[in-house]
Amino acid sequence: MTETLPFTGSYTLNDVQFLLQPMSLPDTPVHIKEALIQSGKKHYSQMLSHEALPADDYLPLFYRALELNQATMAEHLLLLAQSIITTRPQGITLVSLARAGTPVGVLLKHILKRHFNIQAEHYSISILRDVGIDANALRYILQKHSPESLVFVDGWTGKGVISRQLKASLEAFAISDGITIPSELYVLTDLSGWATVAPSSEDYLIPSAILNATISGLVSRSFYDPDLAANSTDFHGCVYYDRFSEHDLSSYFIDTLLTKVNSLWPSLKDKLVAQVKSRLDLQNQSQQFLDWVSQHYNISRPNYIKPGIGEATRALLRRETQLLLLQDLNCEASLHLRWLAQAKATPIIVLEDLPYRAVALIKELNL
CATH code of residue 293: 3.30.1330.30
Decide: 358 and 319 in contact? Cβ < 8 Å: no
CATH of the domain at 46: 3.40.50
pLDDT at 4 (0 to 100): 58
Q: Name the domain count of the chain.
A: 2
Of 238, 268, 298, the position where a domain reaches its end is 268
Instruction: Say whether both 257 and 303 belong to one domain.
Output: no
- What is the 3-state composition of the chain as percent helix, strand, coil, each rounded to the nearest 5? 45, 15, 40
Instruction: Say whether both 133 and 245 belong to one domain.
Output: yes
pLDDT at 29 (0 to 100): 94
Q: Would you say residue 3 lies in a domain?
A: no
Instruction: Say whether both 307 and 182 belong to one domain.
Output: no
Q: Please report how the helices 101-116 and 59-87 are oriented relative to each other, as an axis angle in degrees rounded to 10.
A: 60
Instruction: Say whether both 263 and 337 belong to one domain.
Output: no
pLDDT at 225 (0 to 100): 85
Q: Considering only CA atoms, which of 284, 304, 138, 119 is closest in space to residue 201? A: 284
Q: Would you say residue 11 lies in a domain?
A: no
DSSP 56-73: TTTHHHHHHHHHHHHHHH
Instruction: Say whether both 248 and 159 belong to one domain.
Output: yes
Task: Give the list of residues 6+ apart from residue 334 with CB closer than 8 angstroms, or none.
Answer: 309, 326, 327, 328, 357, 358
Instruction: Say whether both 95 and 165 belong to one domain.
Output: yes
Of 247, 268, 289, the position where a domain reaches its end is 268
Q: State which residues form the domain around 327.
A: 279-362
Instruction: Say whether both 163 and 218 belong to one domain.
Output: yes
Of 214, 249, 268, the position where a domain reaches its end is 268
Instruction: Say whether both 214 and 74 belong to one domain.
Output: yes
CB atoms within 10 A of CB 62: 20
Instruction: Say whether both 150 and 286 belong to one domain.
Output: no
Instruction: Say whether both 99 and 235 belong to one domain.
Output: yes
Q: Would you say residue 216 lies in a domain?
A: yes
Q: Would you say residue 99 lies in a domain?
A: yes
Instruction: Say whether both 31 and 112 belong to one domain.
Output: yes
pTM equals: 0.94
Instruction: Say whether both 99 and 148 belong to one domain.
Output: yes
pLDDT at 266 (0 to 100): 87
Q: Would you say residue 12 lies in a domain?
A: no
Q: Would you say residue 1 lies in a domain?
A: no
Determine which helix (DSSP H) or strand (DSSP E) holds 361, and give its type and residue range.
Answer: strand 358-362
Give the pLDDT of the chain (367 residues) as one tens digit per residue: 444 569 999 999 999 999 999 999 999 999 999 999 999 999 999 999 999 999 999 999 999 999 999 999 999 999 999 999 999 999 999 999 999 999 999 999 999 999 999 999 999 999 999 999 999 999 999 999 999 999 999 999 999 999 999 999 999 999 999 999 999 999 999 999 999 999 999 999 999 999 999 999 999 999 998 877 767 789 999 999 999 999 999 999 999 999 999 999 988 777 666 667 789 999 999 999 999 999 999 999 999 999 999 999 999 999 999 999 999 999 999 999 999 999 999 999 999 999 999 999 999 988 7
Cα–Cα distance, 88 to 85 (Å, whole number): 5
Q: Considering only CA atoms, which of 301, 367, 23, 42 is closest in space to residue 159? A: 301
Q: Would you say residue 4 lies in a domain?
A: no
Q: Would you say residue 44 lies in a domain?
A: yes
